[in-house]
Amino acid sequence: MTAISHNLDQIRQRITLAAQRCGRDPSEITLLAVSKTKPASAIAEAALAGQQCFGENYVQEAVDKITVLKNPALIWHFIGPLQSNKSRLVAENFAWLHTLDRLKLATRLNEQRPEHLDALNVLIQVNISDENSKSGIMLKDISGLALQIAKLPRLRLRGLMAIPAPESDYQRQLAVCQQMSEAFVLLRADHPSVDTLSLGMSDDMEAAIAAGSTMVRIGTAIFGARNFA
């Protein structure tokens, strides 16, 4: 067993235990392996261990990996801030975008999504901790943006994503995650296509799952520490 396959097993066990503790079915929760800055070889190794969904933050780096791997079984999620001038690359190469936070970007993606591909799955990013350093909209603005996205035929609104501010206390983690869960339930009531709450990373995964997350984003715990140099 390789280090990456061992790490994947460990994370899957954490997901299963967290789900069981709150009476949820572990199969409801998707593991998204965050592979930013990691080589294509590491992604290939994870794929051999059964991992299908990969999250990337940097457009050109991700497109290079997608091109090298040429594996149709892999599902690529873009999870970083997206500048308008890079939107075409995401529209043409990814299955999911987690960081949609403005109508202008949604409109561009809708126009740029190739006809031969399924609609681009999109999540609205919420700045749940109201941090100046984070992208995303406020909770009160979700409904209005969702209504506009729902009118765009080449996009499919799937739900919400958030990156809460770091917090070591479980109860405080849970309180923030529950705010996202409540917003998710309200959005799902208005939009039948909504089924995904992308919430939870290595340090707050258990709280996110307890609150109702359906997708957790895990990177370092799978691939090891990153070298941003």
- C-beta neighbour count of 29 within 10 angstroms: 22
Say how far apart CA 40 and CA 58 lie, in whole Å: 14
**Cα-to-chain-centroid distance, residue 58:** 14
> pLDDT class for 80, splitting at 50, 70, 90?
very high
136-147: pLDDT as tens digits: 999 999 999 999
> pLDDT class for 228, splitting at 50, 70, 90?
low
Question: What CATH architecture applies to the domain 3-223?
Answer: Alpha-Beta Barrel (3.20)
174-195: pLDDT as tens digits: 999 999 999 999 999 999 999 9
> pLDDT class for 79, splitting at 50, 70, 90?
very high
pLDDT of residue 4: 97
Longest pairwise C-alpha distance within the chain: 48
**Mean pLDDT along residues 150-169:** 96
C-alpha closest to that of 214 among 14, 74, 32: 32
Secondary structure (3-state) at 75: strand
pLDDT of residue 229: 57
pLDDT of residue 131: 72
pLDDT of residue 132: 75
Provide the token pair at 44: 């290939």
Listed by start position, the domains of the chain span: 3-223
Whether the pLDDT of residue 135 is over 60: the answer is: yes
Q: Pseudo-torsion of CA 105, 103, 77, 9, nearest 10°? A: 150
**Mean pLDDT along residues 67-96:** 97
